[in-house]
Amino acid sequence: MANDIGWLGLAASLVLVAVAVALSFWQRLSLERSIVWATARALVQLLLVGVALEFVLDEPLAWSWAWVLAMVLFAADTVRRRAPEVPGVFQLSLMAFAAAGVTTLLVLFGLQIFPLEPKTLIPLAGMTVGNSMTATVVVARRVLDELRDKRDEVEARLALGIAAPVAAKPYVRAALRTALVPQIETTKAVGLVFLPGAITGLILAGTPPLAAVKVQAAVMYLVLGAAATTTAVIALGVQRRLFSADHRLTVPPRVSA
Amino acid sequence: MRGVTGAVPALFEFVHLGVRGVGDRWRLRDVNGSIAPSGVTALVGLSGSGKSTLLRCCNRLEVPAEGAVHYRGVDIATLDVLQLRRRVAMVFQRPTPFPGTGRENLQTADPELEDEWARELLARVSLGPDFLDREATELSGGEAQRLCLARSLAVDPEVVLMDEVTSSVDPAARRSLERLARSLADGGTTIVWVTHDLAQARRLADEVLLVADGRIAGVDETNAFIEEDANGE
């Protein structure tokens, strides 16, 4: 079974990092320090996570829920750092990930697709949140950019006596499409272009491939549903914050360089 | 054409109006004045004088930090803003055709708009019925601006606010838009026309308000400004 490579195996895989360092040196990319630092950081982070998971997976479910909450907080903070101009994005992200989490976990555990236990809750919640983060950042920025760049058009709609949510609709729709299309494309390409992490891990651990692909398919659908939920919550939330209660567009114009 | 004397009952009245800018700046401060209920009133002034801001206060695209705007004697802050904007329409400096056909643009203003009325609206702005099916974003600047005007007229407004609507179109389109504004005013729709072009204001307007340094200038200052410009030509 290939599910424990041992410390020697891990050390041996550092040869591949040495290849990256050597290539950087040869091509004078000056990235050797970054590569070594990233490798060391990844190892330390993963070891810490591994130790923590060893503990949490053996403890009552409450610890796993705490882990999930920490993940959601960290993810919302990551979205805030990647989309700092969007007003209220931290609170909106929290709501969005919470909404997606509740929906997807209700389906996965409520419909008994997976048994509810630490070793299913943490990875599945992690995949829900982690894979919808990119779409969340994209939609938050796109709604802001659309309403800012098409300000004249938006105000022309408002000036016709159209209420703000209706005036914003075409632009919010465009932002949602921009955020969701990549996720849909990824779902279409799975299996053809790449074998995602879940299926790889399961096969390495000895799970029969057909069983592994069923899990992977369920995970892909979970991620798609989660991305759709988070982007919808974020898009509607951001749009509401960019208009005043009396139907004025309050997003400041882009500051020109 | 003359400076405002305040002798006619006002359509809009500005009472100690102040609108903040960035930081400690004020874009408008202690503005007092009124706009007559008929004809064409021009708001003239240099770029940055605050005339567009003043116009945008009339349909609550801007709200003042101080003072008030009254519409037919009522503080507009107490009116339903969506209904206000259907009585007080606006055409912007840059043409803003929405993606879609001319018909779809008009139907954004009135979803129940029938083709017969749509053709009449187009005719009022001197566009042919073929513009119903043409893609609005492919029109020339002048055509697009006229379509935007038709779209504003679809809500059957009492007033049309026109914010430098000729500044991004060619001279022929400019004259056409001026004639349209004049004919709308003659037909009973009040026009408030913002421009930095005093010659245009003199051609077009019945009354002129000079906006300078974030306030409306007095009658004497306005008349002097007009005379000075006339003598300079």
Mean of the per-residue pLDDT values of chain A: 88
User: Does position A257 have pLDDT exceeding 70, yes or no?
Assistant: no
Task: Decide if pLDDT at A2 tops 70.
Answer: no
B166 in A contact zone (CB under 8 Å):
no
- The ipTM, to two decimals, is 0.92
Distance CA B139, CA B162 (A): 20
pLDDT digits (tens, 9 = 90+) for A110-129: 988 888 988 889 888 888 88
CA nearest B155 in A: which residue? A160
N-terminal to C-terminal alpha carbon distance within chain B: 17
Side by side, which strands form the sheet with B66-71?
Answer: B26-35, B12-20, B66-71, B74-75
Give the containing element (helix H, strand E) for B225: helix B219-232
Using the Cβ of B144 and the Cβ atoms of chain A, whether some distance falls under 8 Å is answered with: no
User: How are the residues of chain A apportioned to helix, strand and coil, as percentages rounded to the nearest 5?
Assistant: 75, 0, 20
Average pLDDT over residues A131-141: 90
Q: How many CB atoms lie within 10 A of CB B101?
A: 16
DSSP A144-203: HHHHHHTHHHHHHHHHTT--HHHHHHHHHHHHHHHHHHHHHHHHHHBTTTB--HHHHHHH
Q: What does the block give as tokens for B149?
A: 């005007």
pLDDT score of A248:
96
Identify the pLDDT of residue A1: 47
Q: Pairing relation of β-strands B159-163 and B190-195?
A: parallel
Q: What percent of chain B lies above the pLDDT cut of 90? A: 73
Q: What is the pLDDT of residue A251?
A: 86
The pLDDT value recorded for residue B227 is 77
Split at pLDDT 50, 70, 90, the class of A3 is: low
Residue with tokens 């057909």: A210
Over the stretch B32-41, which tens digit does the pLDDT of each residue have? 999 999 999 9
Instruction: Give me the residue from B61, B98, B99 closest to A159, CB to CB.
Output: B61
Q: Decide if A153 and B61 are in contact by the 8 Å CB cutoff.
A: no
pLDDT, tens digit, for every residue of B71-115? 999 999 999 999 999 999 999 999 999 999 999 999 999 999 999
For residue B130, the cross-strand partners are none
- Whether the per-residue pLDDT at B6 is higher than 60: the answer is no
**Paired tokens of A165:** 């949510």
What is the C-alpha separation between A144 and A215, in angstroms, rounded?
36
Using CB atoms, pick whichever of B89, B94, B99 lies closest to residue A152.
B94
In 3D space, the residue among B35, B76, B72 whose CA is nearest the CA of residue B206 turns out to be B35
Mean pLDDT of A135-158: 94
pLDDT of residue A195: 60
**B98–A162: do the CB atoms touch at under 8 Å?**
no
Cα–chain-centroid distance for residue B183?
14
**pLDDT, tens digit, 9 for 90 and up, residues A159-203:** 999 999 999 999 999 999 988 888 888 777 776 665 677 777 888
The closest CB to that of B85, out of A153, A159, A170, belongs to A159
Answer yes or no: is pLDDT of A36 > 80.
yes
User: Which has more pLDDT, B27 or B6?
Assistant: B27
**DSSP class per residue in A191-215:** TTTB--HHHHHHHHTT--HHHHHHH
- Contact state of A246 with B81 under an 8 Å Cβ cutoff: yes
Closest by CA position to B67, among listed B19, B21, B6: B19
Tell which of B20, B62, B69, B81 to mutate to test the A interface (max A CBs under 10 Å): B81
Say what the pLDDT of residue B47 is: 82
User: Between these two residues, B232 and A155, which has the higher pLDDT value?
Assistant: A155
pLDDT for res A205: 84
A125–chain B nearest CA distance, Å: 41
Between A255 and A236, the more confident residue is: A236
- How high is the pLDDT of residue B1? 42
Q: What is the number of other CB atoms lying within 10 angstroms of the CB of residue A47? A: 11
Task: Compute the distance between CA of residue B97 and CA of residue B141 in angstroms, rounded to an integer.
Answer: 10
What would the mean pLDDT of A41-66 be, rounded to a whole number? 90
Distance from CA of B55 to the nearest CA of A (A): 12
Q: Does B174 touch chain A (CB under 8 A)?
A: no
Alpha-carbon distance B40 to B193, whole Å?
A: 7
In chain A, the residue whose alpha carbon lies closest to the alpha carbon of B105 is A157
Separation CA A213–CA A231 (nearest Å): 27
CA–CA distances in Å: residue A225 to residues A47, A105, A111, A196, A220:
31, 11, 15, 17, 9
